[in-house]
A and B are shown apart, each in its own frame.
Chain A
Amino acid sequence: MPRISPRVTQRLALAGIWGTGLVTLLILAVIITYVLVKGVGDLDWSFLTTPPRGGTSGEGGISTVIVCTIYLIGLTMAISVPFGLGAAIYLSEYAPDNRMTRLIRYGTEVLAGVPSIVFGLFGFALFVTALSFRFSILSGSLTLACLLLPTMIRTSEEALRAVPRAHREAALALGATKWQTVWRVLLPAALPGIVTAIILSIGRAVGETACLFVTMGSTTAMPTSLFSGGRSLSMHLLYLVMDTNAIGKALATGVVLVITIITINAITNWLSQRFRARMTGGA
């Protein structure tokens, strides 16, 4: 077989990479444009500010659903970020390398691949039934946190491990304790990776449906406390599509969902960049 010249392979590789990148972006653009174009028709102020009528009518807006989603995501993150980070710090900095920690690491990897409905059933059994939190935002958030923790832990642990050993040694040599090293050097340096983990987690939490139907119920009433049930935007979207003919409203809900995710990501990114700029002096 004749040897293909490096110049040709270089061109082919470049074209291939460009091509795949372009196709990916194109698909993404088509989906988002489709949802936006079809959805904005039903999207107006009253849609955002009136509660859904419920039943199979598909009438009404999504006000209570938005509120419930905010509570759900806020509480889920408030639980999963500290616990996820704590576990990641333990695994990467404190845990000895033995059978036990290898087992824990293997366990988190397996859990990261378990389908979400299994977590839903677990949440139903533990939070809804055994702990009597019933169908509530609290049960839903705890279940979501369990679902997200494995990925949170693994991704944050990788980010911490990627910080050069030289930084750890420099800090220790200056008389810093292990915790000061973690807090003042490792966490700031690992922040971009940790933020990515958080953003991906939020995206997944916003998109979950099945495991929430069995832990949060699906009431359309305005939540009044963490023990109220409720439905998130994705759950409402699914319900509109499956049980009603209100496709327009479903797409409008989709628009709100997409905008919500983009906004949350932008805010998270902005916060982390500000923090980093302050810590690093902008380089």
Chain B
Amino acid sequence: MGTSEAKIEARRFGFYYGKREALKDVNLKVKEHQITALIGPSGCGKSTFLRALNRMNDTIIGARAEGEVLLDGCNIYAPGVDVVELRKRVGMVFQQPNPFPKTIFENVAFGPRVLGLDRKVSLDEVVERSLRSAALWDEVKDALNKSGLALSGGQQQRLCIARALATEPEVLLMDEPCSALDPQSTLRIEDLMNELKEHYTIVIVTHNMQQAARVSDWTGFLLLGDLVEYDKTAELFSRPKDKRTDDYITGRFG
């Protein structure tokens, strides 16, 4: 397992919101076709790190990055990098399900349309394949022209996953994808993640340590902008090397 290539590698990566340092000197390798979980208390920088991987933080005024993030060996913060191309390769699912106020079909077709892929492939096929991959097809195949907002919360989140998959990314970033969902929908998404990791590299931020332990292969623990510990999930949860990790996973704080 551990021998597979690093899909993403952060090198001495730091991040600032204005003068506030949100991440300092993070070094981390995300392995290909594995699920990497980032855990830590609120404000530890885990979401900042995740959003740095597709440069979503660029939209925040005064935000600034230091160091490097390599995707397949190329620094995504190098000058001249096309963020549109980057975001095509690195998809994202957000904390709150955020389907567009459009039909289910148009939600999934959005990515291929804006990227101009609809001239090369059949949108019907892409939409069906993406919805199948997100385990939503059977529930919505007769309602593709209904609004995406008419679905339940769990279905909306799977629609957002399908929407992200439609651009055929290599990496899928998930920012607490289940925090707004009920336990049953959460389980469905977790099962789905396990299926998806065969084709995608997944990085998930989660508040829920059980979830990290259940779904991930690797886990990173962040605290106050520091990556305190990063190890195989089983290792980190059973034999944490750092006292702070131990305190956190045993529920002494956070």
Contacts and interface: CB of A to CB of B under 8 A. Distances in A.
A172 B85 CA distance: 11
B31 interface: no
Contact of B167 (A174, A180, A280): A174
Interface string B150-183: 1000000000100110010000000000000000
A188 interface: yes
A279 B114 contact: no
Nearest to A185: B100
A281 B85 CA distance: 29
B87 A280 contact: no
7 contacts: A173-B56, A174-B115, A174-B164, A175-B84, A175-B85, A281-B147, A282-B147
The interface residues of chain A, by DSSP majority, are classed as helix
B149 interface: yes
B1 interface: no
B85 to A, nearest CB: 8
Interface string A269-283: 000000000011111
Interface in A248-283: 279-283
A170 interface: yes
Given A166-B96, A281-B147, A283-B149, A177 B102 contact: no
Given A174-B163, A283-B150, A169 B59 contact: yes
Given A173-B94, A279-B102, A279-B106, 6 more contacts: A173-B164, A175-B85, A176-B84, A281-B106, A281-B148, A283-B149
A258 B167 CA distance: 51
A240 B199 CA distance: 77
Contact of A281 (B103, B115, B163): B103
B194 interface: no
Given A173-B54, A174-B91, A281 B145 contact: yes
Contacts, number: 89
A164 interface: yes
Given A164-B98, A279-B102, A283-B149, A174 B56 contact: no
A102 to B, nearest CB: 15
A283 B110 CA distance: 18
A184 interface: yes
B104 interface: yes
Q: Give me the 5 closest cross-chain CB pairs, A-B, nearest first.
A: A283-B147, A281-B103, A166-B98, A281-B147, A173-B92
Given A175-B84, A180-B114, A282 B146 contact: yes
Contact of A173 (B91, B99, B113, B148): B91
Given A170-B160, A281-B104, A175 B98 contact: no
